[in-house]
Amino acid sequence: QVQLVESGGGLVQAGESLRLSCAVSGIIFRLNVMGWYRQAPGKQRELVAAITSTSSTNYTDSVKGRFTISRDNAKNTVYLQMNSLQPEDTAVYYCNVNVKSGSFFRPRDYWGQGTQVTVSS
């Protein structure tokens, strides 16, 4: 089975930086769209950033200029570099990856378990 392992979350002060990573394991033929979502207490889960197989990127307005999504296909990993973190960035961050694996005929979406990011003022 395909599995996603997230890392890099933690507690930081406003203005500091974190880098999240999401490593995909299993028999992988192709990684399609990869992205990061977040869910803050009392709010709906929202898309933070996404990157396509052609490296086209999209960001939610609140993180533009501060966050950068990237992917390393050789390592089957997607990253989210988060700079100038603010308290409103506090949330659980989830990795989402569309994967063509050796187990199924067509690509499927997979989710990471979530990693907590807490930003203090």
Q: How confident is the model at residue 49 (pLDDT cuts 50, 70, 90)?
A: very high
E strands, 46-90, where? Answer: 46-51, 57-59, 67-72, 77-82
Give residue 104's identity as a one-letter amino acid code.
F
Q: How confident is the model at residue 63 (pLDDT cuts 50, 70, 90)?
A: very high
Q: How confident is the model at residue 104 (pLDDT cuts 50, 70, 90)?
A: confident
CA distance 103 to 120: 43
Residue 103 pLDDT exceeds 90: no
Average pLDDT over residues 60-73: 97
Average pLDDT over residues 68-96: 97
pLDDT tens digits for range 84-93: 999 999 999 9
pLDDT at 1: 83
